[in-house]
Amino acid sequence: MTGQNTVDKLVSKPYKYGFVTDIETEKIDKGINEDVIKLISRKKDEPEFLLEFRLRAYKQWLKMKEPNWADLKYPKINYQDIIYYAAPKKSEKKASLDDVDPKLLETFDKLGIPLSEQKRLSNVAVDAVFDSVSIATTYKEKLAEHGVVFCSISEAVVDYPELIKRYLGSVVPISDNYFAALNSAVFSDGSFVYIPKGINCPMELSSYFRINSGDTGQFERTLIIAEERSSVSYLEGCTAPMFDTNTLHAAVVELIALDDASIKYSTVQNWYAGNEEGVGGIYNFVTKRGHCRGKRSKISWSQVETGSAITWKYPSCILQGEKSVGEFYSVALTNNLQKADTGTKMIHIGAQTRSTIVSKGISAGKSSNSYRGLVQIGPQATGARNYSQCDSMLIGDQASANTYPYIRSQQPQSNVEHEASTCRISEDQLFYLQSRGINFEEAISMMVSGFCQDVFNQLPMEFAAEADKLLALKLEGSVG
């Protein structure tokens, strides 16, 4: 049918961030074993306790099996064919930005994340991670005035070993799942945030993850601790060059909110997705979990997932503190042959805990997009409430969408509401907009951003516009 072809003309625009930085890199040999883990630990001058943590995780991992329950089919990953540590040379000590290789600064400029004093964003502090290491963190001093710690996790291990000992692995235990165990064994770098009691972090914090090497896995680790009555908003962005091989990314993010603390964690994930035939792209297997330990604490996840060949990701909240609140707002867009299996888990433990889930999946091309969510209400969670809304939008007739909402309640005095819908952008809707002078791409993007509005409203201001543009770009195609 001729009409369908119009919709099929949607193809991804060339990926804007696909360039490779030509920089001398120090890499270790491929493969994983105890010696490799010891080597990584030594390179990072880590204290003994962390090496033990890694080795324990490695032993666990060896006993575990790669999960296969998600709606994801991909060729077997050869874990001995991956490099577990790569760092730009001469990055060992980074006393100040002046010591950072100009090529790296240039790379982040090109990515729209300028780091130098003159050009850096005025209201956002950035931790820039390149392959396995953090190369710079801006506004550290200004944040320190408020007692806020924002640095790479490698630095935190040395400077705040007590906090690391206490909290690392406390939300996502090393044996939690296959990819979390692997991450715990070989994690390289990532961000560490500590907000002291009673402090509202004075600026947005942000980490930007850049994969540069094609054969290197990225295993970042992020830990955010919000003490009583504190609050923070944290953004995460990520891109990678275009390689025709698949790169593994297995991150772990742990959030801890104590009494009356609130953490807002937003992600725009734009890893390379592979080409139209599905060659190349990032395998994105991520474990993100927040622990509302304190009373009336709040953890809010917002994510805009547009990249990666495969996404496996379920940012979750453990609602332990009485009256604590968990939120999950997600837009996941897949195109061409991308596959995404994403959602959340809301584990209600404490009394009168509340959670909200809003998920918007958009599938175009031949992609597949699944929402998988669990709402669990424990026996102590009297008066717990959940509201879930999962909407799918299909573009064209070759894409697929699935919804798997699991609800387990052991508490009769709780209230769980679930709504779901699926719609397809119809040719007649497109034609209606076009017949009023609106071009094809703009018509699609109007409908998509209308569909995602509930989620975009949750993103930090600068980010929302960015996300809108990103979606439009992802769907933009050559209309003949």
- Total residues contacting other proteins by CB under 8 A comes to 28
The minimum distance between CB 369 and other proteins, in angstroms, equals 18
Count of C-beta atoms within a 10 Å radius of residue 452: 25
Task: Write out the two tokens for 377.
Answer: 């209400």
Q: Which stretch binds other proteins (CB under 8 A): 12-20, 173-181, 291-299, 443-451?
A: 443-451
The minimum distance between CB 307 and other proteins, in angstroms, equals 24
Task: Quote the CA–CA distance of 286 and 178 in Å, as a whole number.
Answer: 11
Confirm if 372 and 341 have CB atoms less than 8 A apart: yes
The minimum distance between CB 427 and other proteins, in angstroms, equals 6
Which residue number, 350 or 396, has a Cβ lying nearer to other proteins?
396
Site string for other proteins, 248-287 (x = CB under 8 A): ----------------------------------------
Q: What are phi and psi of 309, to 5 degrees?
A: -70, -40
Task: Write out the two tokens for 335.
Answer: 């195109």
Which residue number, 228 or 442, has a Cβ lying nearer to other proteins?
442
Count of C-beta atoms within a 10 Å radius of residue 10: 22
CA distances from 343 to 49, 304, 371, 413 (A): 33, 12, 5, 25
Which residue number, 328 or 456, has a Cβ lying nearer to other proteins?
456
- Please report whether residue 2 would count as binding other proteins according to CB under 8 A: yes
Please name which of 330, 394, 405 lies closest in space to residue 368, comparing C-alpha atoms.
394
Among 277, 437, 461, 478, which residue sits at the site for other proteins (rule: CB under 8 A)? 437
Strand positions, DSSP E, 35-139? 86-88, 124-130, 133-137
Greatest distance between any 2 Cα atoms in the chain: 68
Confirm if 204 and 234 have CB atoms less than 8 A apart: yes
Q: What are phi and psi of 235, to 5 degrees?
A: -120, 150
The minimum distance between CB 276 and other proteins, in angstroms, equals 22
The minimum distance between CB 331 and other proteins, in angstroms, equals 13
- Please report whether residue 435 would count as binding other proteins according to CB under 8 A: yes
Confirm if 259 and 229 have CB atoms less than 8 A apart: yes
Site string for other proteins, 389-428 (x = CB under 8 A): ----------------------------------x--xxx
The minimum distance between CB 168 and other proteins, in angstroms, equals 42
Q: Which stretch binds other proteins (CB under 8 A): 131-139, 151-159, 433-441, 466-474?
A: 433-441
Among 431, 472, 473, 476, which residue sits at the site for other proteins (rule: CB under 8 A)? 431
Which residue number, 2 or 96, has a Cβ lying nearer to other proteins?
2
- Please report whether residue 439 would count as binding other proteins according to CB under 8 A: yes
Please name which of 358, 346, 294 lies closest in space to residue 324, comparing C-alpha atoms.
294
Which residue number, 272 or 329, has a Cβ lying nearer to other proteins?
329
What contacts 24+ positions apart, CB below 8 Å, involve 50-55? Answer: 50/157, 50/164, 53/168, 53/169, 53/174, 53/184, 54/184, 54/185, 54/186, 54/187, 55/185
Please name which of 258, 323, 327 lies closest in space to residue 296, comparing C-alpha atoms.
323
Task: Write out the two tokens for 249.
Answer: 């990314």
Q: Which stretch binds other proteins (CB under 8 A): 16-24, 26-34, 338-346, 448-456?
A: 448-456
The minimum distance between CB 75 and other proteins, in angstroms, equals 38
The minimum distance between CB 439 and other proteins, in angstroms, equals 5
- Please report whether residue 479 would count as binding other proteins according to CB under 8 A: yes
The minimum distance between CB 428 and other proteins, in angstroms, equals 5
The DSSP element (H or E) to which 159 belongs, if any, is helix 153-159
The crossing angle, in degrees rounded to 10, of helices 34-43 and 178-186 is 50
The minimum distance between CB 315 and other proteins, in angstroms, equals 24
- Please report whether residue 453 would count as binding other proteins according to CB under 8 A: yes
Task: Quote the CA–CA distance of 239 and 337 in Å, as a whole number.
Answer: 18
Q: Which stretch binds other proteins (CB under 8 A): 60-68, 193-201, 305-313, 444-452?
A: 444-452
The minimum distance between CB 460 and other proteins, in angstroms, equals 22
Among 28, 163, 446, 472, which residue sits at the site for other proteins (rule: CB under 8 A)? 446
Question: Which residues here bind other proteins, judged by CB under 8 A?
Answer: 1-3, 5-6, 423, 426-429, 431-440, 442, 446-447, 449-451, 453, 479
